[in-house]
C-alpha cells in the first residue's frame, strides 16, 4: 500500500514573490500575487490551497 498523494500540491519556489493562477484545469482561478514571509518560508494560496515553499536562492549551486 502506498501512502496517499497529498491533497494539495506543494510547489518549490526560489522567490518570495509568487504568482498563482491555479494552473490548468479545475483549480484555475484569477491571478493572485502572494508574498512568502521569511520566518514561515511558505504560503498557501487562498484560492486553490496549493502550498508554495521557499527554497532559497541557488546562487551557491554549481
Ligand atoms: Zn492558487
| Domain 10-54, CATH homologous superfamily name and number | q5lls5 like domains (2.60.260.40)
Task: Tell me how far the alpha carbon of residue 62 lies from the centroid of ligand 1, in angstroms.
Answer: 32
Residues with CB under 5 A from ligand 1 (ion): 20, 22, 45, 47-48
Q: Report the C-alpha gap between 16 and 56 in whole angstroms.
A: 9
Reference 53, options 40, 35, 41; nearest CA is: 41
pLDDT in tens, 22-59: 987 777 999 999 999 877 799 999 999 999 999 876 56
Average pLDDT of span 14-20: 94
Q: What is the per-residue pLDDT for 53? A: 94
Length of the chain measured in residues: 62
Task: Tell me how far the alpha carbon of residue 60 lies from the centroid of ligand 1, in angstroms.
Answer: 30
Q: Please state, as a whole number, how many other Cβ atoms lie within 10 Å of the Cβ of residue 54.
A: 18
Delimit the domains of the chain by residue range: 10-54
| Radius of gyration, alpha carbons of the chain | 13
Q: What is the per-residue pLDDT for 23? A: 84
Task: Tell me how far the alpha carbon of residue 57 lies from the centroid of ligand 1, in angstroms.
Answer: 22
Amino acid at each position: 500500500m502506498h501512502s496517499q498523494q497529498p491533497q494539495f500540491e506543494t510547489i518549490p519556489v526560489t522567490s518570495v514573490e509568487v504568482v498563482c493562477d491555479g494552473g490548468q484545469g479545475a483549480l484555475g482561478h484569477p491571478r493572485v500575487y502572494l508574498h512568502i514571509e521569511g520566518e514561515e518560508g511558505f504560503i498557501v494560496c487562498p484560492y486553490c490551497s496549493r502550498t508554495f515553499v521557499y527554497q532559497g536562492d541557488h546562487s551557491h549551486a554549481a
